[in-house]
Amino acid sequence: MDHFLYRDGELYAEDVPVADIAAAVGTPFYLYSTATLQRHYQLFDDALSGMEHMVCYAMKAASNQAILKTLADLGAGMDVVSGGEYARAKAAGVPGDRIVFSGVGKTRAEIRAALEGGIRQFNVESEPELLVISEIAASLGKTAPITIRVNPDVDAKTHAKISTGKSENKFGIPISKARAVYAEAAALPGIDVIGIDVHIGSQLTDLEPYELAYRKVAELTEQLRADGHNIRRLDLGGGLGIPYTRSNEAPPLPSDYGALIKRTVGYLGCEIEIEPGRLIAGNAGILVSRVIYVKQGEGRQFLILDGAMNDLIRPAMYDAHHDIVPVVEPEAGVEQQAYDIVGPVCETGDTFAKNRMMPPLQAGDLVAFRSAGAYGAVMASEYNTRPLVPEVLAKGDQFAVIRQRPDFDEIINRDTIPPWL
């Protein structure tokens, strides 16, 4: 459930008409709903009730300061994957002991910054990384809490580009090697081995891969404990999928997922961490765009929007489907037409949807891409020197621009001309 609903014939974000925001901010823009973000966080928090736990929002999904603060105020931790994300989390007021550092290629500078600023744990992805963390922590006179990310060789049954738990993927260390690496870690200076981490992929719409992975993690926990390690925290990753269409999808709910966690690893008495990103932010955001032209092609009609692949890359990159709805609610029974919905960027890949049935639309009409809150704004670029689109946050009957649209000078002035030119 989200808070982007039609009311009196037009789309609202909570209690604000989307068209009012478009008039104030200009298009295209991302628009988030506070109540939806809060609700989705709460669903996970509730799903893990009864177990010691922390929901560490995977902020790669949407990392605006206002979004982070909204979630941090509810008690969320953060899962970060770069020094930039770590700095963003700190800037939003998240204390270091609520920040988990994931990622397959943490640099020395990033590791040092996290150790100096405080960190809940590093999720270590390789032996070389383990050695570097040990060296830096020891040189700073600190102890780095770590988990090791294991690769359970489980098929997440999702899009190949966002599947991470198979042995051919670059992530984690093979679970078969885990005991040896844990033994190595325990002997290193500056390292406190606290748990196990696993993350098998994103947009999972079936719980079975989780079940397989978490059972392997439970078994490993018992083995590692028998080896003498004090395994007390399990980071179970993120990845729970969301419905991208209104009609026929019913992915498992956070409550089902929570029950699965309790069933598979609950008996171990570990503190549980999860790292959901998409489910918290995805359906809490829309991309609002305006029709520039309706163009009659050979046997097809193009709806040319002012939003493009640089603003929302998911359709071009993953063939992802986003529902696209008119901001003015179509009259009941109106005859739909097929449109190819495209942006202005000079690539055929700048196509959001082909043959999409929509009510008749004209130049100037507003449309909204649903489910665009996660991996939308954060993956945007300025390709074609199209400014990064603004982000807006609604709360009840209020809204605020939480990232301004840069003007052309700001963009151009980032370049410098060398002295010889």
Q: Where are the beta strands (DSSP E) in 2-89?
A: 4-7, 10-13, 16-17, 29-33, 53-58, 77-80
Q: Which DSSP letter does residue 105 get?
A: T
Q: Give least dist CB 374 to ligand LLP, A.
A: 6
Residues from 352 through 391 that contact ligand LLP (CB under 6 A) = 374-375
Q: Which amino acid is at 94?
A: V
14 vs 235, beta carbon nearer ligand LLP: 235
Cα–Cα distance list, 285 to 36, 80, 170, 262 (Å): 9, 20, 30, 30
Q: Which of 1, 250, 334, 346 is catalytic?
A: 346
Answer yes or no whether residue 162 interacts with ligand LLP by CB under 6 A: yes
How many residues interact with ligand LLP (rule CB under 6 A)? 20
Answer yes or no whether residue 121 interacts with ligand LLP by CB under 6 A: no
Task: Select the span of 176-184, 198-206, 338-346, 402-410 touching ligand LLP (CB under 6 A).
Answer: 198-206
CA angle centred on 303, ends 299 and 309, rounded to 5°: 120
Answer yes or no whether residue 199 interacts with ligand LLP by CB under 6 A: yes
Residues from 79 through 98 that contact ligand LLP (CB under 6 A) = 79
Task: Select the span of 28-36, 45-53, 82-90, 270-278 touching ligand LLP (CB under 6 A).
Answer: 270-278
212 vs 316, beta carbon nearer ligand LLP: 316
Cα–Cα distance list, 323 to 253, 314, 320, 372, 404 (Å): 20, 12, 10, 9, 26
Q: Give least dist CB 340 to ligand LLP, A.
A: 22
Answer yes or no whether residue 278 interacts with ligand LLP by CB under 6 A: yes
Q: Give least dist CB 300 to ligand LLP, A.
A: 27
Backbone angles phi, psi at 369, to 5 degrees: -85, 120
Q: Give least dist CB 114 to ligand LLP, A.
A: 15
CA distance 58 to 299: 43
Answer yes or no whether residue 314 interacts with ligand LLP by CB under 6 A: yes
Q: Which amino acid is at 285?
A: G
Answer yes or no whether residue 311 interacts with ligand LLP by CB under 6 A: no
Specify the length of the chain in residues: 421
Answer yes or no whether residue 165 interacts with ligand LLP by CB under 6 A: no
Cα–Cα distance list, 69 to 76, 283, 390, 393 (Å): 9, 18, 18, 12
Task: Select the span of 182-190, 251-259, 275-283, 295-303 touching ligand LLP (CB under 6 A).
Answer: 275-283
Q: Give least dist CB 229 to ligand LLP, A.
A: 22
Residues from 202 through 261 that contact ligand LLP (CB under 6 A) = 202-203, 237-239
152 vs 239, beta carbon nearer ligand LLP: 239
Q: Give least dist CB 345 to ligand LLP, A.
A: 18
x/- letters, 137..156, toward ligand LLP (CB under 6 A): --------------------
CA distance 178 to 222: 12
CA distance 140 to 52: 31
SS3 411: helix
CA distance 254 to 336: 35
CA 282 to chain centre: 7
Answer yes or no whether residue 322 interacts with ligand LLP by CB under 6 A: no
CA distance 319 to 308: 14
CA distance 346 to 369: 21
Answer yes or no whether residue 163 interacts with ligand LLP by CB under 6 A: no
60 vs 326, beta carbon nearer ligand LLP: 60
Q: Please confirm, yes or no, whether 346 is among the known catalytic residues.
A: yes
CA angle centred on 313, ends 124 and 390, rounded to 5°: 95
x/- letters, 323..342, toward ligand LLP (CB under 6 A): --------------------
Catalytic residues: 346
Q: Which residues bind ligand LLP (CB under 6 A)?
A: 58, 61, 79, 102, 162, 199, 202-203, 237-239, 275-279, 314, 318, 374-375
